[in-house]
């Protein structure tokens, strides 16, 4: 059975971010991130939310390991949280996708 640190480590490896970059994105020190990845500590829920956003996943997956059935509200919240870091080109691409019939 995997633990939260194992799931974070797996997604971090797939993301291509360094541990230092990821720690900065999540608002924690590199030392704290190291402890999370080794399952020595569990991150606060605010940090888990930042991790989920950075890794394009859900808080539920990071905490439980369960893939959830994402509904409209979940997608809306994810997009709303992500718009700050999106370029205009990415926003237009998303709009184009939504407008397709």
pLDDT at 44: 96
Q: 3-state DSSP call for residue 28?
A: coil
pLDDT at 69: 67
pLDDT digits (tens, 9 = 90+) for 3-36: 999 999 999 999 999 999 999 999 999 999 999 9
At the second CATH level, the architecture of 4-64 is: Orthogonal Bundle (1.10)
Q: Where are the domains of the chain?
A: 4-64, 69-101
For residues 97 and 19, what is the distance between their CA atoms, to the nearest angstrom? Answer: 32
Percent of the chain with pLDDT over 70: 96
For residues 45 and 80, what is the distance between their CA atoms, to the nearest angstrom? Answer: 19
| The pLDDT of residue 76 is above 90 | no
């Amino acid at each position: 059975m995997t633990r939260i640190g194992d799931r974070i480590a797996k997604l971090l490896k797939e993301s291509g971010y360094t541990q230092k970059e990821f720690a900065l994105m999540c608002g924690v020190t590199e030392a704290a991130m190291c402890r999370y990845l080794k399952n020595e500590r569990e991150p606060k829920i605010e940090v888990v939310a930042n991790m989920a956003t950075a890794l394009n996943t859900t808080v539920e997956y990071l905490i439980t390991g369960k893939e959830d059935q994402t509904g409209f509200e979940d997608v809306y919240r994810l997009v709303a949280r992500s718009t700050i870091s999106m370029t205009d080109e990415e926003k237009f691409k998303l709009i184009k996708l939504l407008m397709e019939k």
